[in-house]
Amino acid sequence: MSTLPADATPDRPAGRPDAAASDAPARIVAKRSAKLQFTQAMLLLEAFVVLFASLVMYGLRDVPGAWPLLAPPSGTAIWVLGGTLALVLAILSRSVGSPAGYVAGSVVQVPVLALALWVPMMLLAGGIFVALWIASLRVGGRIDRERAAYDAEHPETAPTAD
One digit per residue, the tens of pLDDT, for the chain of length 162 reads: 555 555 555 555 555 555 444 555 556 666 789 999 999 999 999 999 999 999 988 998 888 877 777 778 888 999 999 999 999 999 999 999 889 999 999 999 999 999 888 888 899 999 999 999 999 999 999 999 998 888 888 887 777 655
- Name the maximum alpha-carbon separation found in the chain: 79
Cα distance from N-terminal residue to C-terminal residue, the chain: 29
Q: Is 79 exposed, middle or buried (0-12, 13-18, 19+ CB in 10 A)?
A: middle
Q: What is the pLDDT of residue 24?
A: 56
State the pLDDT at residue 71.
79
Give the number of residues written for the chain.
162
- Comparing CA positions, the residue from 108, 134, 136 lying closest to residue 49 is 108
Query: Is residue 83 within 8 Å of residue 33, measured between CB atoms?
Result: no
Q: How many CB atoms lie within 10 A of CB 53?
A: 23
pTM equals 0.74
| Res 134: pLDDT | 96
Q: How far is CA 4 from the centre of its chain?
A: 43
Distance CA 132, CA 112 (A): 13
- Burial annotation 14-32 (CB, 10 A radius, 16+ → b, else e): eeeeeeeeeeeeeeeeeee
